[in-house]
Amino acid sequence: MKKVGIIGVGEYLPKKVLTNADLERMVDTSDEWITSRTGIKERRIAAKNEAASDLGLKAARQALHESGIKPHDLDLIIVATITPDMQFPSVASMLQQGLSAKKDTICFDISAACAGFVYAIATAQQFIARGNVKYALVVGVEILSSLTDWKDRNTCVLFGDGAGAAVLAEVNSGGILSTYLGCDGAKSDLLYVPAGGSRMPATKETVNKHLHYIKMQGNELFKIAILSMTEAAQVALKRAGLECADVDLVIPHQANVRIINAVAKKLGLGEDKIYLNIEKYGNMSSASTATALCQAVKEGRIKKGDIVLLDAFGAGLVWGACVIKW
């Protein structure tokens, strides 16, 4: 099996900023509540003419540039998203076209909500490790504003839009040391969008009843998220033959700063070992870990030889962790 690593990262955040003060004018909430309960101060919202593939394409171009790889070198494009441009075709196929990648590039999307980027990294790793693929592009992109009920204060303060990308290839040393993915479908009703799929196709009634928006039992998820992310990190580290003390930086899913702090405490990791971008971007599902990884690299928080832990949890319920030697 070949060693597989990340050789370039990229990101794109839409220009429009929606602050907590803006939300105070939209629903019965306050900056104080949102900040103290979630850690979020503002989030980005895609423009009306921006779809997932538009954001993903910009992040992908940056990751390709950073890695020195040309689009026609790509053999595989995986997009992790729960907010594709449309039901089909895949966003990955749209990126292939947008990048002018070659015709035999394998293209597909992965639906694993907030753990989607970790699921996609783990999947791309398999292709490259077995020698079937040389270069893979993995993108985590969401336009969660398109699934957000802007009248529901329980959810509308949480989410944002964005995209992050990574190029994966064979590396001589280090790279992805381990992955751990899991799912508990029995708890899928804690976080879902009821309508718009084959179970409940769109009708005037589903639209009037706001059934195309995210429904979430936040406080139930809160407890499960802490346990799942802690366990995922521990299993992935064990598979890599490492301990928590070996970790230089954790890139956690950014759903709630209180969840992240609780996970860090359980793992015995100090604040300096946790990368946060939730304050500026909120929860961008699969794009949260993807953009956080990119920003940590750009800011010099990740250096060659560092042990980086990706750790995510989301609707499904799914979780995933990945240990990388940079």
Rule CB under 6 A: which residues touch ligand ACO?
A: 29, 33-34, 37-38, 113-114, 153-154, 157, 191, 218-219, 221-222, 225, 255-256, 259, 283, 285, 314-315
Residues sharing a CB contact under 8 Å with residue 237, sequence separation 6 or more, in sequence order: 178, 243, 244, 246, 247, 309, 321, 323
So which residues are the catalytic ones? 114, 253, 283
Decide whether 59 or 226 has the Cβ nearer to ligand ACO: 226
SS3 content of the chain, % helix, strand, coil (to 5): 40, 25, 35
On whether the CB atoms of residues 7 and 168 are closer than 8 A, the answer is yes
Residues sharing a CB contact under 8 Å with residue 165, sequence separation 6 or more, in sequence order: 9, 10, 11, 56, 59, 60, 62, 63, 137, 138, 139, 140, 290, 294
CB of 57 to ligand ACO, least distance (A): 22
CB of 40 to ligand ACO, least distance (A): 9
Indicate the SS3 state at residue 182: strand
Q: Report which residue type is found at 309.
A: L
Decide whether 194 or 218 has the Cβ nearer to ligand ACO: 218
Q: Report which residue type is found at 153.
A: R
CB of 141 to ligand ACO, least distance (A): 13
User: What's the CA gap between 199 and 203, in Å, rounded?
Assistant: 12
Decide whether 34 or 128 has the Cβ nearer to ligand ACO: 34
